[in-house]
Amino acid sequence: GESVGLHLPTLSVQEGDNSIINCAYSNSASDYFIWYKQESGKGPQFIIDIRSNMDKRQGQRVTVLLNKTVKHLSLQIAATQPGDSAVYFCAEVLGRATNKLIFGTGTLLAVQP
């Protein structure tokens, strides 16, 4: 079936560097995407979302880019900090009434001090 997947299972960066986490999706009907951060032993935490009528959205230290042509999503984290270490998931929203999420397998971001 259709799914959302991530290119890099593990990403190791130095503190202060910028991080880029990538995600590919296959359902061209999806019009809403979300990035979540999950720390060990906790539930996923909402970071940022983007609708398909946008190609870029910025938050505090984070930016999400959406390329609908190649069905690609990325999360950029500026000045990565040790507290950013976590697993990051992109999710594709299917259906506005049900708001169901299809998650990828996740990318582990390890920030080296």
Of the pair 77, 93, the CB lying nearest other proteins is at: 93
The distance of closest approach from Cβ of residue 33 to other proteins in the complex, given in angstroms and rounded to an integer, is 10
Strands (E) across 39-96 are located at 45-51, 56-58, 62-67, 72-77, 86-94
Q: Nearer to other proteins by C-beta: 41 or 113?
A: 41
Q: Is 84 or 106 the residue whose CB approaches other proteins more closely?
A: 106
For residue 93, how many C-alpha atoms fall within 13 Å in the half-sphere facing its CB?
15
Q: How many CA within 13 A on the CB side of residue 67?
A: 9
Positions touching other proteins (CB under 8 A) are: 32, 34, 36, 41-46, 49, 89, 96-106
